[in-house]
Structure 1
Amino acid sequence: MKISGNIQKNYPAVFMLIAVVTALAACKKGFLDRDPQGRYTSDTYPYPQGSSPFDQYVFAAYGALRSYNVSATPFIAAVSIRSDDADKGSTPGDGGADAQDMDNFPVSPSNGMANGLWTGYFDLINKCNIVMDQVANNEEITASDEIKRQSLAEARFIRAYGYFMLVRLFGRVPLIDTVTGTSANIPQSAPGVIYPFIEKDLQYAAANLPLSWDARFVGRATQGAANGLLAKVYLTEKKWGMAMDAADLVIQSGQYDLSTPYDRIFGEDGENTRESVFEIQATADATTPTDYGIQYASVQGVRGTGSWDLGWGWNTPSTRLLYAYEDGDPREARTVLFTSTPGHPGLTIYGEVTPLGLPNPRYNNKVYTNPAMRNEVGNRGGYWMNVRVLRYADVLLMYAEAANEAGNTAAALEKLEMVRARARGDDANILPEITTTDQHQLRQIIRHERRVELAMEHERFFDLVRWGVAADTLHAAGKNNFSGSRDNLLPVPQAQIDLSKGELTQNPETRTS
Structure 2
Amino acid sequence: MKKYQIYALIATTSFLVSCSKLDLNPLSQGSNETWNSTAEEINISLNGLYKPVFWPADEHSWTDDFTYREMLSPVTGATINGQDLFVKERWVNAYKCIARANNILTSVERASGLLTAEQINAFIAEARFIRACQYAMLLTHYGNIIYTEKVLEIEEAKEVQQADPAMVLQKIYEDFDFAAANLKSSYGAGELKRATAGAALAMKARTALYMGDWQVARDASKACIELGIYTLHPNYEELFLSRTKNSPETIFGFPRSVALQVTLGGLQDYVPRNAGGYGAMVPTWDLLSAFTCIDGLPIDQSSLYNPREPFENRDPRCTATIVEFNTPHVGFIYEPHPDTLKVKRVSDNQLVENRDNRAVAQFASYTGLLWKKGVDDDWLKNSWQAEPDKIIIRYADVLLMYAEAKTELGEIDQSVTDAINQVRARAYAPVNAYPAVTATTQGELRQIIRNERRMEFAFEGLRYMDLIRWRLAEKVLNTPIYGMLDPAILREKVITPGLWFFPQVAPIDEDGIADFSAMAAAGLIKQIVVRKFDASKQYLWPIPTSEVLTSGLKQNPNY
Q: After TM superposition, is the score higher than 0.5?
A: yes
TM-superposed deviation, 1:274: 0.9
What residue identity is the alignment partner of 1:187? Q
- Determine whether 1:407 maps to 2:373: no
| Counterpart residue number, 1:15 | 20
TM-superposed deviation, 1:426: 3.9
| Counterpart residue number, 2:150 | 178
- Determine whether 1:473 maps to 2:476: yes
SS at match of 1:486: coil
TM-superposed deviation, 1:157: 1.1
Q: CA 1:185 to 1:266, structure 2 compared with 1: closer, same or farther past 3 Å?
A: farther
What residue identity is the alignment partner of 1:215? A
1:191-239 per-residue CA deviation (whole Å, 9 max, x = no partner) reads: 2122111111100110000110123335411111100111122223333
TM-superposed deviation, 1:139: 5.5
TM-score of the pair, normalised by structure 1:
0.76
What are the ranges of 5 or more consecutive residues in structure 2 without an aligned counterpart?
A: 1-16, 24-35, 294-313, 325-333, 482-529
SS at match of 1:274: coil
- Partners of 1:348 and 1:196 lie apart in 2 by 57
- Partners of 2:343 and 2:113 lie apart in 1 by 57
Question: Whose radius of gyration is greater, 1 or 2?
Answer: 2
| Counterpart residue number, 1:423 | 427
TM-superposed deviation, 1:473: 2.8
Question: Which has the larger displacement, 490-499 or 386-395?
Answer: 490-499
- Determine whether 1:454 maps to 2:453: no
TM-superposed deviation, 1:162: 1.0
* Contact 2:185-2:198 within 8 A present in 1 as well: yes
Query: After the TM superposition, which residues 178-197 of structure 1 pair with which residues of structure 2 at under 5 Å, given as runs?
Result: 178-180=150-152, 186-197=160-171
SS at match of 2:195: coil
- Partners of 1:456 and 1:390 lie apart in 2 by 13
- Partners of 1:203 and 1:187 lie apart in 2 by 26
- Determine whether 1:118 maps to 2:118: no
Q: Please point out which of 272, 276, 279 is paired with 1:308.
A: 276
| Counterpart residue number, 1:496 | 547
- Determine whether 1:397 maps to 2:411: no
- Partners of 2:227 and 2:218 lie apart in 1 by 14
What residue identity is the alignment partner of 2:285? T
1:298-331 per-residue CA deviation (whole Å, 9 max, x = no partner) reads: 48643759x624xx87753222111000122111
TM-superposed deviation, 1:297: 5.8
* Contact 2:263-2:385 within 8 A present in 1 as well: no
| Counterpart residue number, 1:29 | none
Q: Please point out which of 205, 215, 228 is paired with 1:254.
A: 228
What residue identity is the alignment partner of 1:85? D
Q: CA 1:127 to 1:495, structure 2 compared with 1: closer, same or farther past 3 Å?
A: same
Q: CA 1:402 to 1:176, structure 2 compared with 1: closer, same or farther past 3 Å?
A: same
| Counterpart residue number, 1:161 | 133
| Counterpart residue number, 1:341 | 336
- Partners of 1:258 and 1:281 lie apart in 2 by 18
1:332-359 per-residue CA deviation (whole Å, 9 max, x = no partner) reads: 2222246542539899999999853364
- Partners of 1:314 and 1:217 lie apart in 2 by 40
Q: CA 1:100 to 1:495, structure 2 compared with 1: closer, same or farther past 3 Å?
A: same
SS at match of 1:434: coil
* Contact 2:76-2:477 within 8 A present in 1 as well: no
Query: After the TM superposition, which residues 96-107 of structure 1 pair with which residues of structure 2 at under 5 Å, given as runs?
Result: 100-107=73-80
Q: Please point out which of 34, 45, 64 is paired with 1:84.
A: 64
Structure with higher helix content: 1
| Count of residue correspondences | 438
* Contact 1:262-1:423 within 8 A present in 2 as well: yes
| Counterpart residue number, 2:318 | 332
Query: After the TM superposition, which residues 272-283 of structure 1 pair with which residues of structure 2 at under 5 Å, given as runs?
Result: 272-283=246-257
| Counterpart residue number, 2:258 | 284
What residue identity is the alignment partner of 1:189? A
- Partners of 1:205 and 1:350 lie apart in 2 by 51
1:378-426 per-residue CA deviation (whole Å, 9 max, x = no partner) reads: 33222x3332110100000001111112223222111111111111224
- Partners of 1:368 and 1:280 lie apart in 2 by 18
- Partners of 2:266 and 2:185 lie apart in 1 by 29
SS at match of 2:253: strand
What are the ranges of 5 or more consecutive residues in structure 1 without an aligned counterpart?
A: 1-11, 19-46, 94-98
